[in-house]
């Protein structure tokens, strides 16, 4: 359940004391039930079987080591279909693994999230069950402020499943940190109630509990997602598999009145319009004010979202706008908002919800320490390299902190070891301090009492080689520590701490997070290791991983081998493709060499290229297995640590293997587009608005998929491209003056900058040509700009190419693309 503000421990105790005092002070008397209250038991009996409890592991998939038997999250759900579909909050099941759903009769099922929508905070969970009792939904128009309601959920503890609280509808159409309107209620909603039902006295669901305010001095302030939003989302889930949201392409700002909650008709100011968006195409501009969508006023962002909820992508709607002093109605064809689309990824991570079943000890295999692991011990924190780890007791009685420090003196005396405890003594009254010379590891001991909180602390420091190990126990109550039974149990736990790790002990849980590589297994039947601190993933038939600074990367592509193709021929084509791309002075090739990867013949080559500023290297491995071509390319800059990159490449080659069980059984033919690529093949681009067409190589990108009505179109390749800018104002001289001024400014700023201006005739009209050969940031390039007018449209065409890719063929293609331009009349 979402909390807006977390109640402090002190505030919680004060609040609890106030409630207790108020209760004890109340006179004993007879309580008269209202008619509504007397009907509660019957309503609960009728509806509670439609409410379930949900529990699972909230886990970051990249940090499986964070799994703990107590690291669980729970919430509530409502059965919406008898065949096992359960509605809950999206925040309940987000990142939840090993989900278990418990029905009101105690039966448990494995759950899986099938639909998820973070914008509405709603999700669907599926269990394999039939004959369930689905909840009934109220008519949205029948809900009234002041009507009695009940909340059913799983507050605070999973042991409190299907708890019921009672209250009223306190308000409607509330806007509280939500995209849509909410119902306000004073029925108690506590952590774990999220996803549960808010019911009327007919037993109908009027909302799904979603959040509450928790703050000292704030009481009975909970919120639920209203039934009309619930039904809208459910309808989309089952009809489209997701919530389809329309898209305008604008950012809006609320008025001061809307922000503070004062009703007003000021509307929403357009603060940004995305280029080429539906709003942009409709002529909406920054500074316009949106007053209404169709007949629905838009005084707040929630009203705006509620209004858009009534429409689907591709529908046309009318917007009432105020532009300056003019009010107008504009029709807009809605696009589809893909920004909130969520891909659900769930793994098994072990079917048992207790991740530590059978573990009696805990330790770190890398740093070499271990100790007992009582059932109530919870790992609460651990840094990225594992040098610091914290534990807490499930009952909150004590905590343990372990830290590791390297590069210490190996010959520390008992006195030197005792002095290492000095940093632990500040703020404490020292009760005991001594050196314990015992096997297997001697240590320095410090026991103290906090001068501020009264907590008791025991710290022990060990030395192994040049590494210092510190374990500190903090007992939060002196009474607990002075209990001989408790103190003996604490000392027994500390005494179990040893500077060794027994890998043969099956009951020893390893919490080591230290690793140099991660193993990636793919659906393409290939697995490999990448550096642990690299990020990445896959899309299409490629996988990409990169270092934090993105300077180093691994790119893997998988395609089908054409009939008759060979490893040698494929590798030779790869080398030729590289050499054709760059001019001779800007590339280097190490040369192909035969290697073997997991028993499979492969070819390795290394390329290097530069645009003139710095060199980049690519080490490529080509291999063919089971009719698939696997190309693995390691990219790194010329100034990288070559030993490190050699290690990365060697680790990659040694780790590659082909686990058939991971290959997707549906894996079919994947076309290698390079096999179809014809560098000379051109595609015609036509701009009807600006009345020109040209033929550009199909291998270039840009232009074809962009807005055909845009005055600027670019056709690009690595290191260059052609750009056409069209201006239908017909003002040729202004464009020439601006270009002349730009070149003169550059020449004044840098004496090495030079340019020529010539007059030519092209396309049957006079053309002004500006030619530049210059080096920008050590990258030399050629730039030709042609300016001319044709049928009152001024065209500016820029041909730019870096010298590094200015091969004869590419320069020829660039000029041929320009010369292919044709023009049509009005």
Total residues belonging to the chain? 826
3-class secondary-structure state, position 585: helix
| Secondary-structure breakdown of the chain: helix, strand, coil percentages, each rounded to the nearest 5 | 20, 40, 40
Residues 6+ apart with CB under 8 A from 332: 248, 278, 279, 281, 282, 284, 316, 317, 318, 319
End-to-end Cα, the chain, rounded Å: 63
Q: How far is CA 297 from CA 178, 270, 318, 319, 321, in A?
A: 18, 15, 12, 10, 11
Phi, psi for 192 (deg, rounded to 5): 105, -20
Residues 6+ apart with CB under 8 A from 822: 692, 693, 694, 763
Strands 508-510 and 467-475, by their bridges, are: unpaired
Annotation says 705 is catalytic: no
Annotation says 91 is catalytic: yes
Active-site position among 74, 91, 97, 784: 91
Strands 2-3 and 205-212, by their bridges, are: parallel
Bridge partner list, 799: 722, 784
User: What are the counts of helices (DSSP H) followed by strands (DSSP E) for the chain?
Assistant: 16, 51
Where do the DSSP E strands lie in 611-681? 615-625, 628-637
| Cα torsion angle, 232, 233, 236, 237, sign | negative
Residues 6+ apart with CB under 8 A from 764: none
Strands 508-510 and 361-364, by their bridges, are: parallel
| Cα torsion angle, 282, 287, 290, 291, sign | negative
Active-site position among 121, 288, 529, 727: 121
φ/ψ region of 220 (left if φ > 0, alpha if ψ in -120 to 50, else beta) reads: left
Q: Do 3 and 156 touch, CB atoms closer than 8 A? A: no
Active-site position among 50, 194, 399, 687: 194
Q: What is the DSSP string of 170-194?
A: EEEEE-SSSSS-EEEE-S---TT-T
**Tell me, what DSSP letter sits at residue 611?**
S
Q: How far apart are CA 310 and CA 304, in angstroms?
A: 11
How many Cα atoms within 13 Å fall on the side-chain side of residue 21? 6
Q: How far apart are CA 286 and CA 269, in angstroms?
A: 8
Q: Do 283 and 318 touch, CB atoms closer than 8 A? A: no
3-class secondary-structure state, position 126: strand
Q: Do 135 and 202 touch, CB atoms closer than 8 A? A: no
Annotation says 790 is catalytic: no
Name the residue among 698, 701, 703 with its Cα closest to residue 678: 698
Q: How far is CA 295 from CA 103, 304, 684, in A?
A: 44, 12, 45
Q: Do 605 and 579 touch, CB atoms closer than 8 A? A: no
Q: What are the residue numbers of the active site?
A: 91, 121, 194
């Amino acid at each position: 359940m979402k909390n807006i503000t977390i109640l402090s421990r002190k505030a919680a105790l004060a609040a609890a004391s106030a409630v207790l005092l108020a209760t004890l002070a109340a006179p004993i008397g007879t309580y008269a039930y209202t008619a509504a209250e007397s009907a509660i038991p019957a309503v609960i009996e009728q509806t509670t079987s439609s409410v379930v409890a949900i529990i699972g592991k909230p886990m970051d998939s990249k940090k499986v080591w964070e799994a703990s038997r107590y690291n669980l999250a729970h919430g509530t759900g409502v059965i919406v279909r008898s065949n096992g579909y359960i509605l809950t909050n999206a925040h309940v099941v987000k990142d939840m693994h090993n989900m278990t759903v418990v029905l009101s009769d105690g039966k448990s099922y494995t759950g899986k999230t099938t639909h998820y929508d973070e914008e509405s905070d709603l999700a669907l969970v599926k269990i394999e069950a039939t004959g369930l009792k689905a909840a009934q939904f109220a008519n949205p128009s029948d809900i009234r402020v002041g009507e009695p309601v009940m909340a059913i959920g799983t507050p605070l503890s999973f042991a409190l499943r299907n708890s019921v609280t009672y209250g009223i509808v306190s308000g409607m159409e509330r806007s509280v940190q939500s995209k849509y309107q909410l119902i306000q209620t004073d029925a108690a909603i506590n952590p774990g109630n999220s996803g549960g039902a808010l019911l009327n006295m007919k037993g109908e669901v009027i909302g799904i509990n979603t959040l509450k305010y928790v703050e000292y001095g704030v009481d009975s302030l909970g919120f639920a997602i209203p039934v009309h939003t619930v039904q809208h989302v459910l309808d989309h889930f089952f009809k489209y598999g997701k919530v389809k949201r329309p898209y305008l392409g604008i950012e809006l700002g609320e008025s001061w009145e809307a922000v503070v909650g004062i009703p007003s008709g000021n509307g929403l100011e357009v603060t940004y319009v995305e280029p080429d968006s539906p709003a942009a195409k409709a002529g909406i501009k920054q500074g316009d004010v949106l007053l209404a969508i169709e007949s629905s006023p838009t005084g707040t962002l929630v009203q705006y979202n509620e209004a858009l909820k009534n429409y689907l992508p591709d529908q046309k709607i009318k917007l009432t706008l105020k532009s300056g002093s003019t009010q107008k109605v504009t029709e807009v064809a809605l696009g589809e908002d893909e920004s909130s689309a969520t891909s659900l990824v769930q793994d098994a991570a072990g079917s048992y919800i207790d991740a530590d079943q059978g573990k009696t000890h805990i330790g770190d295999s890398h740093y070499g320490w271990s100790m007992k692991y009582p059932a109530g011990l919870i790992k609460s924190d651990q840094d990225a390299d594992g040098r610091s780890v914290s534990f807490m007791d499930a009952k909150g009685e004590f905590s343990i902190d372990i830290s590791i420090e390297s590069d210490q003196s190996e010959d520390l005396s008992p006195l030197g070891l005792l002095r290492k405890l000095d940093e632990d003594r500040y703020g404490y009254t020292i009760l005991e301090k001594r050196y314990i010379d015992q096997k297997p590891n001697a240590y320095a001991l410090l026991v103290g009492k906090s001068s501020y909180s009264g907590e008791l602390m025991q710290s022990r420091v060990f030395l192994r080689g040049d590494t210092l190990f510190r374990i500190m126990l903090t007992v939060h109550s002196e009474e607990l520590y002075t209990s001989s039974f408790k103190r003996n149990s604490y000392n027994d736990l500390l005494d179990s701490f040893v500077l060794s790790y027994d890998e043969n002990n099956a009951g020893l849980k390893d919490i080591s997070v230290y690793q140099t590589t991660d193993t990636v297994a793919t659906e393409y039947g290939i697995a490999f290791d990448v550096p642990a601190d690299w990020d990445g993933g896959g899309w299409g038939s490629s996988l990409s991983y990169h270092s934090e600074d993105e300077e180093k990367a691994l790119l893997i592509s998988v395609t089908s081998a054409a009939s008759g193709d060979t490893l040698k021929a494929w590798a030779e084509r790869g080398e030729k493709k590289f050499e054709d791309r760059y001019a001779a002075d800007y590339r280097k090739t190490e040369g192909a060499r035969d290697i073997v990867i997991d028993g499979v013949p492969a070819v390795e080559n290394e390329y290097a290229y530069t645009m003139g500023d710095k060199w980049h290297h690519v080490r490529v491995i080509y291999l063919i297995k089971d009719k698939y071509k696997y190309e693995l390319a390691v990219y790194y800059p010329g100034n990288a640590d070559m030993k490190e990159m050699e290690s990365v490449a060697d680790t990659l080659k040694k780790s590659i293997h082909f686990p058939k069980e991971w290959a997707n059984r549906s894996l079919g033919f994947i076309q290698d587009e390079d096999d179809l690529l014809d560098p000379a093949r051109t595609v015609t681009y036509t701009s009807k608005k600006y009345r020109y067409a040209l033929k550009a190589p199909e291998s270039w990108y840009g232009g074809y998929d962009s807005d055909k009505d845009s005055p600027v179109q670019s056709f690009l390749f690595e290191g260059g491209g052609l750009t056409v800018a069209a201006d239908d104002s017909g003002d040729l001289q202004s464009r020439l003056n601006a270009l002349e001024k730009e070149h003169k400014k550059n020449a004044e700023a840098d004496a090495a900058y030079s340019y020529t201006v010539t007059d030519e005739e092209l396309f049957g009209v006079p053309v002004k040509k500006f030619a530049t050969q210059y080096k920008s940031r050590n990258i030399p390039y050629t730039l030709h700009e042609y300016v001319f007018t044709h049928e009152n449209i001024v065209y500016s065409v820029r041909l730019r190419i870096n010298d590094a890719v200015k091969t004869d063929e590419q320069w020829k293609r660039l000029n041929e693309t320009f010369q292919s331009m044709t023009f049509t009349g009005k």
